[in-house]
Amino acid sequence: MAGTKFDALVFLSFGGPEGHADVRPFLENVTRGRGVPPERLDEVEEHYHHFGGVSPLNALNREIIQNVEAELGRVGIDLKVYFANRNWHPMAADTALQMAEDGVKNALVFATSAWGGYSGCRQYDEDILTMRAAIAEAGLPEITFTKLRHFYDHPLFISAMVDAVQESQAKLPADVREKARLVFTAHSIPLAADAASGLRENLYSRQVYEASKLVAYRAGFLDFDLVWQSRSGDPRVPWLDPDIVDHIVDIHSKGAVSAIVCPIGFVSDHIEVVWDLDSELAEEAKLLHMPIERTRTAGPTAEFASMVVELIREHTDDLPARRLGVEPSRGCTVNGDPCAPDCCVSARPARVATPARML
């Protein structure tokens, strides 16, 4: 695609509230059409208010965008970068209208998820369809949107997480540092959704496992655990488990004296990371008198910005794709046209799902 003239990059993310007044409308956006009871939203809303009604996600995304803009300038690529969210401002449809008014014709799209599956991949294709529909409804010239590929096994993503693990290990008390258990965590999803997460079953959990393995071995660990967090919904519906807090309690009961917890499933330290790991897990670790270090995430690092630009150059310069893994990694999609209709389906029960603990 080196012959295509791209004139913009869309940084496409989940979105998060930026003040107390934003929280309820944001949660209603996230859960619209899912039959979530108001009392459940009340519960989650209080979690956000505990942090001033602000999710760190938007600020962190703006930091990443600044880093990417600097890296684009360094390598001489002229792309205007636009910020778009699914659930809060700047909303994807509004960003699309601004792009069309600015005369953008061919845009690349970086989605802030490393993974396959419905939530990690296909929903971003649906966001692109929403952007195109907004442009068409306004009668503005069409834009071609080309979404960049999955990056779960990109060497620069893995390198950033290896550094994070080693930094956290060095922070542990000297007497337990070498005995630390390495535990990776990612967002849980229903087992049915994972089974339908791609052209191969369990694509999401397999990719998360492979990324964890790549990081663990390069960080000097021969063994590691992969667990999950932020499950929600009807307790009768099975989700990926074990939960991170339950797992730490379990390994402590079996003799583990310390742990490094790496939220590999998350690009940035948004609310789910801050609440589930820095609040709930940290509180449990105190009760257990167990030293635990939670690693930083990859998003704000120089490696991450360089990775995004490499993904861009796969299209602008025909740069060869660098991958370390063996699991499938979907190529780009154009104009939100996803893979086969039965690929990456939601598999979400219609009226029982509730938002993740912290969304």
Q: What is the pLDDT of residues 292-311, one digit of tens each?
A: 999 999 999 999 999 999 99
**CA 14 → CA 8, 135, 168, 227, 242, distances in Å?**
20, 20, 27, 22, 25
Here the tokens at position 233 are 């919904």
Q: Which of 90, 91, 25, 17 is nearest to 50 (CA)?
A: 17
Q: pLDDT-derived band of residue 261, with 50, 70 and 90 as boundaries?
A: very high
Name the amino acid, one letter, at 17: P
Mean pLDDT of 127-145: 97
| pLDDT confidence of residue 225 | 98
**Alpha-helical regions (H) of 257-301:** 271-272, 282-288
pTM of the model: 0.91
Query: Does 257 score more than 50 pLDDT?
Result: yes
Q: Is the dihedral of CA 88, 93, 98, 102 positive or negative?
A: positive
Range with the largest mean pLDDT of 3-17, 46-60, 82-96, 331-345: 82-96
Residue 185 sits at φ, ψ, to 5 deg, of -140, 150
* Top-confidence range, 23-32, 137-146, 194-203, 269-278: 137-146
Percentage, residues of the chain above pLDDT 70: 91
- Residue whose C-alpha is closest to residue 86's, from 119, 41, 45: 119
